[in-house]
Amino acid sequence: MGKKGIISDRCELNRQIKADNALLRELRGQVKKLAQTVKNTLPALAEAMENLRKNLLLFCYQLGYLRKGKERLNTSLNTLRPALTQYNQLAKDIRDKTKERRILLTEKKALSAVHVFRHRELAAKIAALTEDLEELRSEKNLLLASLAYTEEDAADKFPKDIAAMEQSLKRLEEQEQKYSAELDAALNEYAGLREQAQGFDPVQLYKTKQAIRPGKEQEAENRAQQVYGEKYSPLLMFDSKKAISRMLHEDMERQAVRRMMRQAHKEQQTFQKKKSEQER
């Protein structure tokens, strides 16, 4: 994780949050407008429900995108935090052993030549410390190289970059809370539209919604592509569609409509049968 990468990620995050907030304001305005629209006919109600569903899809996509960003940051931090601890420990060990070696060298230099055994003891300790220092420096250099830091900037940049990533993670968490609240509000608005739908034929309403849904979903995809550009993910959009379908219990709605249609077909057959018998 190089410095340029972290700076680039931070700039990208700022740009994306700005774009997300603009889309959020747009969607919030649309939800408010939908709430004020008169929906006293079945086509108008179906249009309102599918427009709101389109907005729900975009809210869900935004949340998915944010959560993937959080996941990436957490993965990086889970690598960098222990690496920083390891780096600080290596730096401390190097300082401590360098100091100890310097003290022993000073003692050896000042020691009279007649103290042969002490000279040998000091020489052995100094050699061991020299070997330890080489290993520690090599380990530290490998660690820094794996993270794209240099010896000159590691002590200053390493903790600053982690702090910047933690700040980015905090911003994403704040954005997630904001969008989750908007998603909940839009779901409540959709529930209100469902209550209004009780006064209409459920089968006809379902068919009308299904007829216009592909166009509304395409509008959501196009808008997400405009906002996220090359970062747009068709897979995330697919997952968002599945998530919205679960939130709105669309499988249950589809099954209920099919039961109604089967029942209506059965009743029609019974009616036709009785009518034929009467005409004989």
210 and 126, same structural domain?
yes
**CA separation for the pair 223, 61 (Å, rounded):** 11
Q: Which of 221, 200, 257 is nearest to 49 (CA)?
A: 200
- Which residues does 185 contact at the CB level (< 8 Å), separation at least 6? 31
* Pick from 5-9, 171-175, 209-213: least confident: 5-9
Mean pLDDT of all residues in 34-58? 85
Mean pLDDT over 240-258 rounds to: 94
Q: How far apart are CA 142 and CA 165, in angstroms?
A: 23
Q: Are residues 122 and 15 part of one domain? A: yes
**pLDDT surpasses 80 at 1:** no
Q: pLDDT tier at 174 (50, 70, 90 boundaries)?
A: very high
Alpha-carbon distance of 110 to 137, in angstroms, equals 28
**In 3-state terms, what secondary structure has residue 95?**
helix
pLDDT bin (cut points 50, 70, 90) of residue 276 is low
Are residues 126 and 105 in contact, defined by beta-carbon separation less than 8 angstroms?
Answer: yes
pLDDT at 152: 83
Global pTM value:
0.75
Pair (241, 260) in one structural domain: no
Based on the domain organization, do 117 and 168 belong to the same domain?
yes
User: 241 and 268, same structural domain?
Assistant: no
Q: For residue 212, what pLDDT is reported?
A: 97
Closest by alpha carbon to 165, among 65, 227, 84? 84
Q: What is the model's pLDDT at position 9?
A: 63
pLDDT in tens, 128-163: 999 999 999 999 999 998 888 888 888 888 899 899
Residue 263 has pLDDT above 90, yes or no: no
- Asked whether residue 263 falls in the same domain as residue 185, the answer is no
Closest CA to 213 of 43, 30, 54, 27: 54
Q: Evaluate if residue 99 carries a pLDDT over 90.
A: yes
Cα 268 to chain center, whole Å? Answer: 51
CA distance 158 to 96: 21
Check residue 116 and give its pLDDT: 87
Q: Could you tell me the pLDDT band of residue 91, with boundaries at 50, 70 and 90?
A: very high
Q: Which domain holds residue 205?
A: 3-248
280 and 207 in a single domain? The answer is: no
Would you give the DSSP letter of residue 39? -
Q: Is the pLDDT of residue 64 over 70?
A: yes
The enclosing domain of 203 has a CATH number of 1.10.287
Residue 38 has pLDDT above 60, yes or no: no
Amino acid code (one letter) for 135: E
Domains of the chain: total: 2
Percentage of the chain modeled with pLDDT above 90: 62
Tell me if 80 sits within 8 A of 74, measured CB to CB: no
Question: What pLDDT, on the 0 to 100 scale, is given for residue 216?
Answer: 97
Residues 200, 184 share a domain: yes
SS3 140: helix
Residue 251 has pLDDT above 90, yes or no: yes
pLDDT surpasses 70 at 35:
no
Q: So what's the pLDDT on residue 34?
A: 65
CA distance 231 to 12: 11
In the DSSP assignment, the letter for residue 78 is H
Residues 159 and 64 in one domain: yes
Question: Poorest-confidence range of 23-32, 37-46, 56-65, 98-107?
Answer: 23-32
CB 133 within 8 A of CB 98: yes
Note whether 193 and 265 are same-domain residues. no
